[in-house]
Structure 1
Amino acid sequence: MDGTPEELTTLVGREVYSNNGVFVGEVEDIRLDLDRQTVTGLALGRLNDELFGTRIDPGKGVLLPYRWVRAVGDVILVNDVIERLKHSDEEEESTVVA
């Protein structure tokens, strides 16, 4: 991607998946660094409730750092860091001592 406006706008509406094939969300907007003329993040909406349900209020989105993006095609693939959020919650719950 060379950063032309036409190519950037094609990212909006694309679905985002982790490396492991888990749906993360859908691109609603793009965060840019105008001085460097680079994409710095993807604003995601229509989030996967299983990953974000307890972390994000309904109707809200997340800003995903663009450095997490692994590949852009018909869908956008990102590092599995997102899935670790879910696993860290499960670990915290299992380590709670009453």
Structure 2
Amino acid sequence: MAIKVSEILNKKIYTTKGYYVGEVYDAMIDTEKAVVSGIVVSDVYKGCLKDKVDDPSKKVVIPYRVVESIGNIVLVKLSKK
């Protein structure tokens, strides 16, 4: 199933265990393979990865392979730590 990157922007991201991760800010594209390689996450300082950033304006990239599903929200398989 194909999905436009613009359709996932600003969606809330949660782990499969129900922890808030952040919001989709952008997507990383592997131009050699023509696939999405990662999701850029904003609002990280409010989520379960807050210990990974020291500046609230920073964003993190999570690998696209951890995305479990995309619907009204994005579910990712991450450990809380």
Work out whether the TM-score is over 0.5: yes
The 3 A distance-change label for structure 1 pair 48 and 23 is farther
Q: Percent identity?
A: 28
Task: Name the structure where helix makes up a greater proportion of residues.
Answer: 1
Q: Distance in 1 between matches of 2:47 and 2:28?
A: 25
- Mean Cα displacement is larger for which, 44-53 or 33-42? 44-53
In the alignment, residue 70 of structure 1 is paired with which amino acid? E
Q: Find the counterpart in structure 2 of residue 78 from structure 1.
A: 76
- TM-score, normalising length: structure 2: 0.86
- CA gap of 1:77–1:48, structure 2 versus 1, over 3 A, is farther
Contact 1:17 1:78 in 2 (8 A): yes
Larger deviation, residues 48-57 vs 18-27: 48-57
Q: Within 2, Cα distance between the matches of 1:69 and 1:53? A: 19
Specify the code of the residue in structure 2 equivalent to 1:2.
A
Equivalent position to 1:31, from 21, 28, 31: 28
Which sections of structure 2, spanning at least 5 residues, go unmatched? none
Name which one, 1 or 2, has greater alpha-carbon Rg.
1
C-alpha RMSD over aligned residues: 1.6
Q: Which has the higher contact order (CA 8 A, sep 6+)?
A: 2
In structure 1, stretches of 5+ residues that fail to align are: 86-98
Over 6 Å off, 4+ runs: none
Aligned residues: 80
So what's the TM-score if we normalise by structure 1? 0.73
